[in-house]
Amino acid sequence: MQLTILGSAASWAGDGQACSGYLVEDEGTTLLVDCGNGTLANAASVADVTSIDAVLISHMHPDHFADLYALQAALRFAPEGPVGSLPLYLPEGLWERLGALLSHHGREQLAEAFEPHSLSDGHPLAFDDITVTPHAVDHDGPTFAFAFEAHGARLAYTADTRPGADVGRAVAGCDVLLAECTLPDEYEGTAAHLTAGEAGQLAKDSGAGMLILTHLWPSADHARMLRKASSVFGGETHLAEELMTVEIAPARGAGEGVRR
Q: Is residue 260 part of a domain?
A: no
Q: Is residue 104 part of a domain?
A: yes
Domain count within the chain: 1
- 10-residue stretch averages of pLDDT, the chain, 260 residues long: 98 95 96 98 96 97 97 91 90 96 94 97 97 96 97 97 97 97 84 94 97 96 97 98 95 55
Q: Can you give the pLDDT at residue 137?
A: 97
- The pTM assigned to this predicted structure is 0.94
Q: Can you give the pLDDT at residue 125?
A: 98
- Helix, strand or coil, per DSSP, at residue 42: helix
Q: How many residues does the chain have?
A: 260
CATH number of the domain where residue 49 is located: 3.60.15.10
Domain range for 156 is: 2-254
Q: Is residue 78 part of a domain?
A: yes
Beta strands in 40-152 (DSSP E): 54-56, 86-90, 114-118, 125-127, 130-136, 144-150
Q: Is residue 259 part of a domain?
A: no
